[in-house]
Amino acid sequence: MGKGLLPILLIAFFTFLFTAEAFAFSMENDTAAYKQNPNYRLQTGLYEIYKTQHSEIVMLGNSITHGVNWNELMGRNDIAERGIPSDNVEGFLSRLDYVTRLNPKACFIMGGINDIYSGLSPEFVFSEYVKVIHELQEHNIIPVIQSTLFVSAKWHNAREKNPEVEKLNALLRKYAENNNLTFVDLIPGMTHNGLLKDELTYDGLHLNANGYVIWREKLEPILNKMIK
């Protein structure tokens, strides 16, 4: 080996090590909550192998959206469910490609409770939510905003967090009104005295069958009008 080649190889070797270590460091210190969620990696991996190429409707959300088979609930065969347990609105935004690639007519969004419980303000969550709406519209997908659900007294800090949810919903409702978008208000039928009704949840956060029946009743007329 020539004397001039050895220093070049050493420089290249140490440059590679530095780059690899820097990349590993950045991955370990990436604090985006959705990237730390094992459910996110699991579900997006499944989205990559699903054969569905088109769906008229996409349900986008977290574990509450993920908790039911939407085609069976609604008696349809044109709904794709894209809910990920523990996901937040930033996570929704990062994985919108899994929505847009299905070329749906409409995307029904439900989220924000995980964000609020992580300490984010309603105003910040709303700003991220609007980014999701804009991205959908850029792909000619109709965004349908669904109110973020309250939690029941069974869930921790319910009395503290539900007013934050109410603030978020007020921002979303006003935005929908100002931009001619559909806002599905689930709060009146599912809450009492500022709390999710205990008979609609099995743990204080996630819905049981009774809760999904109310959700279905809210969506049926919208879906029937939207998709003839």
* Residue 4, pLDDT score: 55
Distance CA 68, CA 41 (A): 20
* Backbone angles phi and psi of 146, in degrees to 5: -110, 135
pLDDT by residue, tens only, the chain of 228 residues: 555 554 444 444 334 333 333 333 333 445 577 888 999 999 999 999 999 999 999 999 999 999 999 999 999 999 999 999 999 999 999 999 999 999 999 999 999 999 999 999 999 999 999 999 999 999 999 999 999 999 999 999 999 999 999 999 999 999 999 999 999 999 999 999 999 999 999 999 999 999 999 999 999 999 999 886
Distance CA 108, CA 131 (A): 15
Indicate if 14 and 106 belong to the same structural domain: no
Which pTM does this prediction carry? 0.86
* Residue 170, pLDDT score: 98
Listed in sequence order, the residues at least 6 apart from 160 whose beta carbon sits closer than 8 Å to its beta carbon are: none
Indicate if 160 and 47 belong to the same structural domain: yes
Distance CA 221, CA 163 (A): 29
* Residue 99, pLDDT score: 98
Distance CA 111, CA 126 (A): 10
* Residue 5, pLDDT score: 52
For the record, the structure tokens of 58 come out as 């996409």
**Where do the H-state alpha helices sit in the chain?**
5-28, 38-49, 63-66, 70-74, 89-94, 97-100, 113-117, 122-138, 158-178, 187-190, 209-226
Are 54 and 77 in contact by the 8 Å Cβ rule? The answer is no
Indicate if 18 and 55 belong to the same structural domain: no
Report how many domains make up the chain: 2
Indicate if 130 and 62 belong to the same structural domain: yes
Residue 67's domain is classified under what CATH number?
Answer: 3.40.50.1110
Are 58 and 104 in contact by the 8 Å Cβ rule? The answer is yes
Listed in sequence order, the residues at least 6 apart from 17 whose beta carbon sits closer than 8 Å to its beta carbon are: none
* Residue 23, pLDDT score: 31
Kindly list the distances between the CA atom of residue 8 and the CA atoms of 13, 16, 21, 106, 225, in Å, as whole numbers in the listed order: 9, 12, 20, 56, 68
Indicate if 13 and 90 belong to the same structural domain: no
* Residue 1, pLDDT score: 52
Indicate if 19 and 62 belong to the same structural domain: no
Identify the DSSP state of 53. -
For the record, the structure tokens of 23 come out as 């990349």
- Structural domain that includes position 158: 34-226
103 CA to centre of own chain: 18
Indicate if 164 and 216 belong to the same structural domain: yes
Cα angle for residues 126, 66, 175 (degrees, 5° grid): 20
Indicate if 14 and 83 belong to the same structural domain: no
Indicate if 48 and 5 belong to the same structural domain: no
